[in-house]
């Protein structure tokens, strides 16, 4: 598929970071806190993983492109009102992350780090 990230396991090729994380969690029977066996706890991890792709990731990428990539690589400035709307959308999604998922806890799902936290932190680091 010529996509990044990707992994090969023998003759099996898999793309997309979340799919890779879930595959590895199942294959190597990681400690339960990473991807809980409890149905409701696992559903919370899955909920975050599904939301982040169209919520946080989308708004982070738009902000990166509008604020950095267009000006630096294309020499084009984004209209100020477009940039303001993009950053406002990012603020809304960061607030959802705080209010719905983190809720003044140390981790997104339960008392220990999970795959949801790994995906969130890598998105925020970008």
The pLDDT value recorded for residue 2 is 73
pTM: 0.86
The answer on pLDDT for 12 being more than 90 is yes
CA distances to 8, 10, 43, 59, 77 from 126, rounded to whole Å, are: 25, 30, 26, 12, 21
pLDDT tens for each residue of 67-111: 999 999 989 889 999 999 999 999 999 999 999 999 999 999 989
Write down the domain spans for the chain. Answer: 1-30, 35-125
The residue-averaged pLDDT of 43-55 equals 95
The answer on pLDDT for 59 being more than 70 is yes
Packed helices 17-27 and 115-125: angle between N→C axes, nearest 10 degrees: 150
The answer on pLDDT for 43 being more than 90 is yes
* Domain covering 35-125 in this structure, CATH number: 1.20.1050.10
Tokens of 27: 């294959």
pLDDT class for 1, splitting at 50, 70, 90? low
Report the percent of the chain where pLDDT is more than 90. Answer: 88
* Total Cβ atoms within 10 A of residue 91: 12
């Amino acid at each position: 598929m010529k996509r990044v990230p990707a992994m090969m396991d023998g003759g099996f090729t898999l793309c997309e970071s979340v799919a890779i994380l879930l595959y590895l969690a199942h294959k190597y029977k990681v400690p339960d806190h990473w991807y809980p066996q409890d149905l409701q706890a696992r559903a919370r991890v899955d909920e975050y993983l599904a939301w982040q792709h169209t919520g946080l990731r989308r708004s982070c990428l738009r902000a990166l492109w509008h604020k950095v990539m267009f000006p630096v690589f294309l020499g084009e400035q984004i209209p100020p009102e477009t940039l303001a709307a993009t950053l406002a959308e990012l603020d809304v999604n960061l607030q959802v992350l705080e209010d719905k998922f983190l809720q003044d806890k140390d981790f997104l799902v339960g008392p220990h780090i999970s795959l949801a936290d790994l995906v969130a932190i890598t998105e925020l680091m970008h």
